[in-house]
Amino acid sequence: MVIRVTRRIVEAVVLLLAVGTIVFFLEHAVPGDPAVAILGGAAAHPTKEAVAAVTEQYGFDRPLIAQYGDFLGGLFRLDFGESYTLKQSVTSVIAGQIGPTLALTVSALVIAWLLSIASTLLTAGRPGIVGRLGSVVETVAAGLPQFWLGLVLLLVFAVQLHWFPVIGSGPLGIVLPALTLAIPLAGFLGQVTRDEFEDKQQQPFVLSARSRGLSERAIRGKYVLRHAALPGVTLSGWGLGSLVSGAVIAEVVFARQGIGQVLVTAVSAQDLPLVIGITFVVALVYVVANILTDIAYVVIDPRLRRTTGAAA
Amino acid sequence: MTTASQPTSATSVVQGPAPVVDVRNLSVAFGDRTVVQDVSFTLEAGRCVAIVGESGSGKSVTARSLLGLNGTTATTTASALSLGGQDLRDLSDGAWRKVRGKQVGYVLQDALVSLDPLRKVGASVADALREHGVGPRSIREQQVLSLLSRVGVPSPALRARQLPSELSGGLRQRALIAAAIALDPAVLIADEPTTALDTTVQAQILALLDELRAGGTGLVLISHDLGVVEQLADDVVVMQHGVVVEQGPVGAVLGDPQHPYTKRLLAAIPSAHAPGARLSDAPRATLAPRPASRPVPVAGSLVLSVSHVTKRYRGPDRVTRTVVDDVSFELRAGETLGIVGESGSGKSTTAAIALALTPPSSGTVTFEGRPWSDLSERARRGDRPRIATVSQDPLSSFDPRRTVGDLIRSALTGARAARKSSDDGRSDSGRVEDLLTGVGLDVGIARRHPSTLSGGQRQRVAIARALATDPDVLVLDEAVSALDVSVQAQVLDLLADIRQEYGTAALFISHDLGVIHHVSDRVLVLRDGRVVEEGPADQVFRSPRDPYTQGLLDAVPGVSIHRNPQEEP
Amino acid sequence: MTTATIAPGEPDVLDPAPAPAAAGVRKVRRASHPLRRVSFWVAAAFIALVAVAALWPSLLAPQDPLAIDLGKSFDAPSAQHVFGTDQSGRDVYSRVVHGAGQSVLIGVGATALGLAGAVLLGVLGGLGGRAVDAVVTRVIEVLYAFPGILLALILIAVFGSSAGTQILAVGIATIPGYARMVRGQVLAVRGAPYVQAERALGHSSAHVLFRTLLPNAFRPLTVLVTLGIGQAIVWASALGFLGMGVQPPAPEWGAMLNAGRNYLQQAWWLDFWPGVVIVLLALSLTAVGRAVQTLTQPGGPR
């Protein structure tokens, strides 16, 4: 188990390096002079001397490889430099903004799981219309675009019904944005979990358990559910990554604080260190999420904890 | 519709204690489809009744009626259905749960899927205890340990903490039995309890079940294997298509069967006949003759020579396992060599090496005197059509997108491509028709998908495909193991007809000693990758030299079922 | 190892007893034939409608989508303007219809790009040796780690906002998901007994590859295409919503959503209707995709 986790961490580090490198070179393909961006953009009409001075100061005239070397060095120290536009260290910018985004994505994931488990437990494997309804609801939910769902939720529950604030950073303010992200993910997770649930419910071990007098409820909730949750757990790592992507949209729709907003502005302002920093952090979240889901999987499925199988 | 032998009441005349199981006129229907009709039998404590039948006979549904586990879509009617005096008709869910585990226990086949793979063995065993309110956890744990000991699981404390996948097949089955008898139910229902096990392990589990029966538990045994039935049961109920065709004491029914179906079942057992006798009443196959351009090799000439072949695998845990260890044998034209062994004996790997589907780690295989295992696949292709294979699960060897006709045609085009020859005057569709009729299938089947066919039909398609290339050698890897006994009989007869008509050599791999004895001229016994015995079939089976072989023969259940072939008229 | 781990086998007549394993559970959903379901036809009709809108928008919406009429700005949906009007008095319905072409183009283009990339990676990884597969898996992992939005943003910053960039951005973002599936399928089929059986019949490796292995590996993908197009259109609209797509006054759905965002309180119809169309289109594509899957599975619909 320890070996697994260590290996994952090493792979993760390599991955992050790759991500950072790609962003570095992509950003350098963007037309435009970073020195100009630092000085406030083309609209600020910086003088030629100012541009030259900045260029020399930041080393933009050095060969690309050398700049990359500096970049890598900074990466290891987790120093992304200073934002061109915000004149703050990138780390502090991110630290300030990441809280709300993380809160949003984590709560969305939790809600998504709760919804999909509820849907599965209540409707999977049940005959007739109940079963089919659950499946249809999940399919529809999975296909809902987040921006539209967010707008509709905002319109109905905030603007019309006043149940939630239109803009708010407190706990009430997180409900609608979290739901916006959670519902489509819940639809997707629900489908996967339901399919696995219905498959496992047909297995002989369920019949065996029934023959010992276990109740249907216990079998569904304690035994089959555990099996059914496994594929969903694997997908949660990816799911969290996609939630971060969705967080950008949710933050825009609900005018929330978070790195999503910062990212959008940073790219259009060609603020290289900030873009790299945020990308890196997002990739980090994705990687950590995958490691955590790996661990969770092993917790649920003890077969992987034992190193050798049975004698035949 | 009355059947030949219709018992009036309980099959036993002994006026002993009231029966623990009393079933009278049981009928089960799913919607408008009646699956079990008018079944009656009784069982006393300490006795065993066996319900025998093939797939679709309704035997499992009948047994599950005693547990109420046929599902909500089932309608069950009976003039009597009771367990230990308690009426089981119209029980509520809550009432059923009190019965299950306490009055009756259920053992399924293949504990690998019958025990929750994610839960520790001990937890599953404790289920019934917990559901019926047995004491605090510590008491339950004690009972689990004693249950595991009772069923013969060594180191019970260790095993209880393990997962089913960490136990061997035999231990798993014992654990499953322990889970079923946890509350010492009056009746134990065992549904094919040993089908997934090796013969030697099967013998042990049967002994365990017999012990439980002797201890006073009533045993309801569901099986398709008449040998197992003969060994364990006092009374037997024979079912076909949901109806009882014959029932009575075991000795009477198996020794002197009245109903044609029972007779057919008994006739289909390979070891009940002299080797080579026909097992079924299917007509002889009408096989198209081989073209003159591709005659069978001269009888007696060496077709396949396997010399000191060894195969080693390195598993994911870095341990190297020797799966095949210094195996050598020869196969001559016209003869059938049977390779027999239990799981893990290396017989399938040996077959794969003989087919050159996997290279040996050391040793060589030659084919008709030419190199075979040492060649590159390209060089080998020319000879590929000469050696064909039929495996246990034909469906997995069929491209899922293809119809039956496409599959056979693919064999024809493959053979042509490999031989680099043009066709020999016979049209492909004509060939396909001939092959299908030859194996006893209707030509209309060519348009159908194998997934819509029954197991026996699929196996015939696999055989037709194997014959399409006019092979000199047929490799049959557990080719009949997954078939019902009567279907198996038909397929074995077909293979015998093929052998007679074409004189092809055959490598027949199986774990079933009776089948091997029936089809083979010579036999190879494998154990843990090594050849422990080799020789003419009669000699190996009548007077084996190696104690392992003797052990295998002793473990085969049933005695009079396997008549001494010399006594056959 | 082949011991008799399979139950005694099917009878020569198909098993009359369904052998239900559970109380209260019906065996596998016995769906009715897809072509008989109403939902299928409704979905297909909607897709056809959108296709017509994409190809001949004037057929469905004779009004000019760009026609400004400031006197009529922010009109609620009425008989004359079925979806209402926007801030410049333009008819929302016409804009939605005229915007279909672009969105469909982006959706199809992005899916095509994504699938092409995924097939390339997936086949390489699935068929190549361990070293190649390791590299391919890493590449897929890296692509996954890039949040889709970021990639899109960077590409737009480099190449400017246009339909082409949207296709590129969304296309590349869908590659890792599909690639993983393709690779998994190729690996699974590669190890399948029937592939080995075909080879044992004497066919050349090339024959087995193109006639058996790849067709079976790709079969599940046909469904993915329809689902994928729906998803791609949604993503592209999301980018448009963020202001990264085609710029106004072009009637592209995403851009309309972006513009309408600011007027949510007073003119909800600006964002609502384009959104509804997008959602319905995605759902219809899903329904049709599922039907196609059932119809094309081997053995026919069961």
Regarding whether B211 and B177 lie in a shared domain, the answer is no
Confidence of residue C293 (pLDDT cuts 50, 70, 90): confident
In angstroms, the Cα distances linking A69 to A24, A29, A62, A279, C47 are 11, 17, 11, 19, 52
A-B contacts (CB, under 8 Å):
91
Contacts of B183 (CB under 8 A, 6+ apart): B101, B102, B105, B128, B129, B132, B134
Q: Is residue B432 part of a domain?
A: yes
- Report H helices in C146-192: 148-159, 163-190
Q: Is residue B562 part of a domain?
A: no
pLDDT in tens, B445-491: 999 999 999 989 999 999 999 999 889 999 999 999 888 888 999 99
Regarding whether B213 and B76 lie in a shared domain, the answer is yes
Contact: B163, A215; criterion CB under 8 Å: no
Mean pLDDT of chain A: 83
Confidence of residue A210 (pLDDT cuts 50, 70, 90): very high
pLDDT for position C114: 92
Q: Which of A146, A110, A103, A82 is nearest to A258 (CA)?
A: A103
Rg, chain A, Cα only: 24
Rounded to whole angstroms, how far apart are CA atoms A298 and C70?
Answer: 63
Regarding whether B115 and B87 lie in a shared domain, the answer is no
CA B53 distance to own-chain centroid? 13
Q: Is residue C222 part of a domain?
A: yes
Above 50 in pLDDT, residue C23?
no
Contact status, residue A81 vs residue A74, Cβ threshold 8 Å: yes
CATH code, domain carrying B92: 3.40.50.300
Contact: B113, A209; criterion CB under 8 Å: no
Rounded to whole angstroms, how far apart are CA atoms B498 and B286?
Answer: 9
Provide mean pLDDT across the span B207-232: 93
Regarding whether B371 and B232 lie in a shared domain, the answer is no
Q: Is residue C32 part of a domain?
A: no
Letter for the amino acid at C296? T
Above 70 in pLDDT, residue B568?
no
Residues A151, A155, A158, CA angle at the centre, nearest 5°?
Answer: 115
Rounded to whole angstroms, how far apart are CA atoms C298 and C120?
Answer: 25
Helix %, strand %, coil % of chain B (to 5): 40, 25, 40
Rounded to whole angstroms, how far apart are CA atoms C235 and C246?
Answer: 14
Rounded to whole angstroms, how far apart are CA atoms B314 and A32?
Answer: 56
pLDDT for position A116: 93
pLDDT for position B340: 93
Contact: B128, A213; criterion CB under 8 Å: yes
ipTM of the complex: 0.84
Contact: A283, C25; criterion CB under 8 Å: no
Letter for the amino acid at C247? Q
B-C contacts (CB, under 8 Å):
176
Contact: B419, C15; criterion CB under 8 Å: no
pLDDT in tens, B290-322: 877 778 788 888 889 999 999 998 877 788 889
Q: Is residue B509 part of a domain?
A: yes
Above 60 in pLDDT, residue C301?
no
Contact: A213, B102; criterion CB under 8 Å: yes
Contacts of B318 (CB under 8 A, 6+ apart): none
Contacts of B253 (CB under 8 A, 6+ apart): B236, B238, B246, B247, B262
Contact status, residue B385 vs residue B418, Cβ threshold 8 Å: yes
Confidence of residue A133 (pLDDT cuts 50, 70, 90): confident
Percent with pLDDT over 70 in chain B: 94
pLDDT in tens, B93-146: 899 999 998 999 999 987 778 999 999 999 999 988 988 888 899 999 999 999
Which residue shows structure tokens 């849907």?
A119
Residues 76-95 (C) with a CB less than 8 A from some CB of B: none
Q: Is residue C280 part of a domain?
A: yes
pLDDT in tens, B44-64: 999 999 999 998 899 999 999
- In angstroms, the separation between the Cα of residue A138 and the nearest Cα of chain B is 26
Rounded to whole angstroms, how far apart are CA atoms A215 and B376?
Answer: 60
pLDDT for position B16: 57
Structure tokens, A134: 């659950």
CB atoms within 10 A of CB C138: 15
Above 70 in pLDDT, residue B14?
no
Contacts of B495 (CB under 8 A, 6+ apart): B463, B474, B476, B479, B506, B519
Contact status, residue B62 vs residue B120, Cβ threshold 8 Å: no
Rounded to whole angstroms, how far apart are CA atoms C32 and C39?
Answer: 12
Contacting residues of B for A312, CB less than 8 Å apart: 168-169, 343-344
Q: What residue numbers bound the domain in which B482 lies?
A: 302-555
Contact: A207, B115; criterion CB under 8 Å: no
- What chain B residue is nearest to A214 in terms of C-alpha separation? B131
Rounded to whole angstroms, how far apart are CA atoms B83 and B99?
Answer: 9
Contact: B163, A300; criterion CB under 8 Å: no
Percent with pLDDT over 90 in chain C: 10
Q: Is residue C75 part of a domain?
A: no
Confidence of residue C24 (pLDDT cuts 50, 70, 90): very low
Structure tokens, B510: 């199986």
Contact status, residue B509 vs residue B347, Cβ threshold 8 Å: yes
Residue A277 CB-half CA count within 13 A: 30
Contact status, residue B58 vs residue B242, Cβ threshold 8 Å: yes
Chain B: partners with 3+ C-beta pairs within 8 Å: A, C
Contact: B55, C198; criterion CB under 8 Å: no
Provide mean pLDDT across the span A31-46: 70
Rounded to whole angstroms, how far apart are CA atoms A168 and A256?
Answer: 8
Q: Is residue B470 part of a domain?
A: yes
Percent with pLDDT over 90 in chain B: 60
Contact status, residue B521 vs residue B537, Cβ threshold 8 Å: yes
Instruction: Out of A290-299, B70-79, B140-149, C185-194, pick the least confident.
Output: A290-299
pLDDT in tens, A179-204: 999 999 999 899 899 989 999 998 99
Q: Is residue B177 part of a domain?
A: yes
Q: Is residue B561 part of a domain?
A: no
Tell me whether strands B370-371 and B387-391 are parallel, antiparallel or unpaired: unpaired
Q: What residue numbers bound the domain in which C216 lies?
A: 39-46+91-293
Regarding whether B261 and B315 lie in a shared domain, the answer is no
In angstroms, the Cα distances linking B529 to B311, B316, C86 are 9, 20, 80
Regarding whether B119 and B96 lie in a shared domain, the answer is no
Residue B53's φ and ψ, nearest 5 degrees, are: 175, 170
How many independent structural domains does chain B possess? 3
pLDDT in tens, A94-108: 888 888 898 999 999
Contact: A213, B98; criterion CB under 8 Å: yes
Mean pLDDT of chain B: 88
pLDDT in tens, A70-95: 778 877 777 777 787 787 888 888 88
Q: Is residue B518 part of a domain?
A: yes
- In angstroms, the separation between the Cα of residue A262 and the nearest Cα of chain C is 12
Regarding whether B144 and B94 lie in a shared domain, the answer is no
How many independent structural domains does chain C possess? 1
Chain C interface with A: residues with Cβ < 8 Å: 1, 21-29, 138, 141-142, 144-150, 153-154, 156-158, 230, 234, 237-238, 241-242, 257, 261, 264-265, 268, 271-272, 275-276, 278-279, 282-283, 286
Q: How far apart are the first and last CA of chain C?
A: 32
Q: Is residue C30 part of a domain?
A: no
Regarding whether B147 and B90 lie in a shared domain, the answer is no
Q: Is residue C72 part of a domain?
A: no
pLDDT for position B7: 45
Rounded to whole angstroms, how far apart are CA atoms A21 and A34?
Answer: 18
Say which of C22, C275, C276 has its CB closest to residue A201.
Answer: C22
Confidence of residue B562 (pLDDT cuts 50, 70, 90): low
Confidence of residue A270 (pLDDT cuts 50, 70, 90): confident
Query: Of B167, B184, B201, at which residue does a domain stop?
Result: B184
Mean pLDDT of chain C: 78
pLDDT for position B422: 65
Provide mean pLDDT across the span B367-388: 87
Structure tokens, C102: 């672009």
Rounded to whole angstroms, how far apart are CA atoms B180 and B191?
Answer: 12
Q: Is residue C264 part of a domain?
A: yes
Regarding whether B224 and B161 lie in a shared domain, the answer is no
Task: Pick from B102, B103, B109, B116 the residue to mutate for testing the A interface (most A CBs within 10 Å).
Answer: B116
Instruction: Out of B71-80, C104-113, C282-291, pick the least confident.
Output: C282-291
Tell me whether strands B104-107 and B187-191 are parallel, antiparallel or unpaired: parallel
Regarding whether B85 and B224 lie in a shared domain, the answer is yes
pLDDT for position B206: 94
- The answer to whether the peptide bond before residue C249 is cis (omega within 30 degrees of 0) is yes
CATH code, domain carrying C206: 1.10.3720.10
Q: Which of B160, B134, B136 is nearest to B147 (CA)?
A: B160
Contact: A145, C278; criterion CB under 8 Å: yes
Provide mean pLDDT across the span A56-66: 77
Q: Is C62 on the interface with B (CB under 8 A)?
A: no
Q: Is the dihedral of CA B373, B378, B379, B384 positive or negative?
A: positive
Q: Is A204 on the interface with B (CB under 8 A)?
A: yes
pLDDT for position B96: 93
pLDDT for position A25: 79
Letter for the amino acid at A294? D
Contacts of C211 (CB under 8 A, 6+ apart): C198, C203
Above 80 in pLDDT, residue C97?
yes
Dihedral in degrees, nearest 10, Cα atoms B201, B345, B522, B272:
20
Q: Is residue B241 part of a domain?
A: yes
Contact status, residue B455 vs residue B483, Cβ threshold 8 Å: yes
Residues 483-502 (B) with a CB less than 8 A from some CB of C: 483-485, 487
Chain C: partners with 3+ C-beta pairs within 8 Å: A, B
Above 60 in pLDDT, residue C100?
yes
Regarding whether B379 and B318 lie in a shared domain, the answer is yes
pLDDT for position C62: 77
In angstroms, the Cα distances linking B37 to B288, B422, C13 are 44, 58, 18
Rounded to whole angstroms, how far apart are CA atoms A249 and A255?
Answer: 10
Regarding whether B87 and B165 lie in a shared domain, the answer is no
Above 90 in pLDDT, residue B174?
yes
Contact: B119, A215; criterion CB under 8 Å: no
CA C111 distance to own-chain centroid? 7
Confidence of residue C19 (pLDDT cuts 50, 70, 90): very low
Query: Of B267, B294, B315, at which residue does a domain stop?
Result: B267
Structure tokens, B300: 């007696």
Q: How far apart are the first and last CA of chain A?
A: 24
This model's pTM is above 0.95:
no
Per DSSP, the residues of C12-55 read SSPPS-----STT--SS--PPPGGG-HHHHHHHHHHHHHHHHHH
Q: Which of B101, B152, B99, C171 is nearest to A209 (CA)?
A: B101
Strands of B370-371's sheet in order across: B320-332, B302-314, B362-367, B370-371
Contacting residues of C for B357, CB less than 8 Å apart: 196, 200
Contact: A310, B127; criterion CB under 8 Å: no
